[in-house]
Chains A and B, each alone.
Chain A
Amino acid sequence: MEALALLQDVFDILLGFGLLWLAWLALFSLDLFRSIVSFISFGLLMAIIWVRLDAPDVALAEAAIGAGLTGALFLAAFAKLQPASVNGKGSSINPQKQSSRKQLLRWLPALIMLWIASGLTIAILALPPHATGLTSEVTSNLTASGVSNPVTAVLLNFRGYDTLLEIVVLLLALLAVWSIGSSVPSIESEPGPVLDTLSRLLVPILIMVSAYLLWVGAHAPGGAFQAGAVLGAAGVLLVLSGWKLYPGLEGFPLRLVLTAGSITFVVIAILTMLVSGTFMQFPPAQASILILILEMVATLSIGVTLAALFIGSPPTDIKKL
């Protein structure tokens, strides 16, 4: 027992330092591509740490979104930035400008950071080593929530408000991305045989994993966000291998799927208000089925929104309207 505890401590310390080292590489590595790859590894290490901290739900979300989709977004943006930085004006560092003033400008923030870090450290260490938080409230009301996974219960029942707003934030981000638009065309290349075969094999599996995560979220780690992220990853893979949405689906059907999550959420919230008198208070008897419906629609919306965020520009059909 003793040796196992020691081994776990060593593992934790190695993970912690590894994480800080990867963060340093991601932020200060001279090669930008290397930075992004370090950031993706950082996300994977982070997922392991979530498991160490008994947060498997967060680990699933981090592995799918933090490491997967965010990394894909950065790599796509990096590829689109390349032509600009190759054409001369890439780096504007003038050696003469690196004067003592610039040196001071580097040291000053470093000192301020040390000051903030020590202040935060004192604050964290001053916290009591034991705190119950809201665990007892959640566990005592878990039977009324309709699901047995406490995190899903918080996300979709107790703090359903947050989740509703979160889905709206996703939609808003997509609207903003579509409005700003980027005239840099996305790089279209013929997918190689590896990517082609891989996506043919992986996409059905990803869709199944997504459905499994959605279903299992009621009583075990998983849920709408993790399932949506996996679905989004399947979409990204399809886009990368040259797949295009059928032209007939680009207009209204696409927008309906994108907004379905928010709409269903609001409709259910208002219906429950008419029944129970409080906005978004699920009656315990129907909570289970309501949460399942919400999660199914939300998964679809989240997945499609994430894939659309990766593409970055609206389908041509919408642009013409």
Chain B
Amino acid sequence: MNTVFLYALVGIGLFCLGLFALIVQAHLLRKILAINIMGSGVFLILVALARRTEGGIPDPVPHAMVITGIVVAVSATALALVMILKVTESSGQPEFPDEESK
């Protein structure tokens, strides 16, 4: 049962690391990377906790949810990347303008 909680804690670590980077990093590509890593953290917690069953067969419902989540994440990432390219085209830099430099 140690494995379950070990990986669930790693999942928490990934989520918080990603959230921190999402706030701190200015580059938009890094923000998308951060959101992807946050998502991986959530998936890890879900699948780790699904393994707490007695019989040794993990709960298949969270597994199916995570597969759905992975596919939704890749489509959202593709959309976000195109939007970054648009922002870069119009503002000349892959970042949102700074509050002070407006």
A residues with a Cβ closer than 8 A to B are 8-9, 12-13, 16, 19-20, 23-24, 26-28, 32, 35-36, 39, 42, 46, 49-50, 52-55, 57-58, 61-62, 65-66, 69-70, 73-74, 76-78, 80-81, 84-85, 87, 89-90, 92, 97, 106, 109-110, 113-114, 116-117, 120-121, 124-125, 127-135, 138-139, 150-151, 153-155, 158-159, 162-163, 166, 169-170, 172-174, 176-177, 180-184, 223, 225, 229, 302, 305-306, 309-310, 312
Kindly list 4 other residue pairs between chains A and B, CB separation below 8 angstroms, not including A92-B101, A150-B57. A16-B6, A53-B3, A121-B9, A182-B85
Contact status A130-B85, CB under 8 Å: no
Tell me whether A73 and B77 are in contact in the complex, defined as CB-CB below 8 angstroms, given that A81-B84, A92-B98 are known contacts: yes
- A16–B88 CB distance below 8 A: no
Q: What residues of B have a CB within 8 angstroms of the CB of A151 in the complex?
A: 60, 63-64, 67
By secondary structure, the A interface counts as: helix
Number of B interface residues, CB 8 Å? 83
A173 touches B76 (CB 8 A): yes
With A27-B33, A110-B20, A124-B8 as given contacts, are A65 and B79 in contact (CB-CB < 8 Å)?
no
- CB contact under 8 A between A58 and B67, given known A20-B13, A129-B1, A184-B89: yes
Pair count A-B, CB < 8 A: 267
Interface residues of B (CB under 8 A from A): 1-10, 12-21, 23-27, 29-30, 32-34, 36-37, 40, 43-45, 47-68, 70-79, 81-86, 88-89, 92-95, 98, 100-101
A49 to B45 alpha-carbon distance, docked (Å)? 12
Q: Is the CB of B20 within 8 A of A16?
A: no
Contacting pair B65 A162 (CB below 8 A): yes
Is the Cβ of A52 less than 8 Å from the Cβ of B59? no
A135-B44 CB under 8 A given contacts A39-B36, A92-B93: no
* Contact in complex: A27, B53 (CB < 8 Å): no
Complex CA–CA separation, A26 to B61 (angstroms): 30
Interchain CB contact (< 8 A) of B94 among A85, A97, A312: A85
B57 and A135 form a contact (CB under 8 A): yes
B89 → chain A closest CB, angstroms: 7
